[in-house]
Amino acid sequence: MHVPDGLLPAQVCAGGYVLTGLATWFSLRQINRKENPQAEVPKAALLTAAFFLASSIHIPIPPTSVHFVLNGLMGVMLGYYAFPAILIGLLFQAVMFQHGGLTTMGVNATMMGTSALLAYSLFRLYRIAKPWLGEAGSRLLFAFLSGAVGLGLAILIFLVIVLTTIPADFDAGVEKTAIYGLALAHVPMMLIEGIFTAMLVAFLQKVKPQLLEDA
């Protein structure tokens, strides 16, 4: 779902970098307000590595194939650390795997990173359901929703960007069919990532709940 180099106009790529800069500044400002900003760095590094490797796990869904993104999981586990972590992961993916691109890294970071931050905000709403589902049940439900919605929002942003920037010399009908097909192929991944996020949160609640205390 990464947007490669050469596909988007220069002004869109520039806009992506501007938004990425603003989101990075906002995230770092929130992080620096913590009592010990460095405390979460090891966890962020571990999940950055997981995000980096996730793109190499391809699942065939005819007529295309998709891969894990884990941006919703990143938001749930890292909070405001998620955006800079995703940005670093995207940089290494572009440089080492040519997955995505350097000119489009700002767009890709905006697409996945802002979705991760929104997933984090959604997960924090688990307290609403506590009176009915309890602490564990409400966290489980909102972890699933955050994992699925995080990817879903990224897909939606991807659709808007790519559909509105189809080059004039391309066959718009063919391109739109391919883009819609790719987006639909990610719908099962939304469920998979939602379930995976919920399972991980359930596991951590039992063995190391302090990893979730910031959420």
* Cross-strand pairs, 65: 60
- Closest by alpha carbon to 72, among 29, 121, 36, 35? 121
- Tell me, yes or no, whether 103 lies in a domain: yes
- Tell me, yes or no, whether 1 lies in a domain: no
Q: What is the pLDDT of residue 191?
A: 95
Tell me how far apart the alpha carbons of residues 128 and 24 are, in angstroms, rounded to a whole number: 29
- Tell me, yes or no, whether 152 lies in a domain: yes
* Mean of pLDDT values over 115-139: 88
* Mean of pLDDT values over 85-97: 93
Q: Which domain holds residue 90?
A: 10-57+64-212
* Mean of pLDDT values over 80-98: 93
- Tell me, yes or no, whether 182 lies in a domain: yes
Q: What is the pLDDT of residue 57?
A: 79
- Tell me, yes or no, whether 157 lies in a domain: yes
Please give the tally of structural domains in the chain.
1
Tell me how far apart the alpha carbons of residues 144 and 125 are, in angstroms, rounded to a whole number: 13
**148 to each of 75, 109, 122, 186, 187, how far by Cα in Å?**
11, 18, 11, 10, 9
In terms of C-beta density within 10 A (0-12 exposed, 13-18 middle, 19 or more buried), how is residue 28 classed? middle
| Residue at 126: amino acid letter | Y
- Tell me, yes or no, whether 35 lies in a domain: yes
Predicted structure pTM score: 0.91
CATH number where 110 lies:
1.10.1760.20
Convert the pLDDT of each residue in 136-169 to its tens digit: 888 999 999 999 999 999 999 999 998 988 777 7
Q: What is the pLDDT of residue 215?
A: 47
Mean pLDDT of the chain: 89
- Tell me, yes or no, whether 4 lies in a domain: no
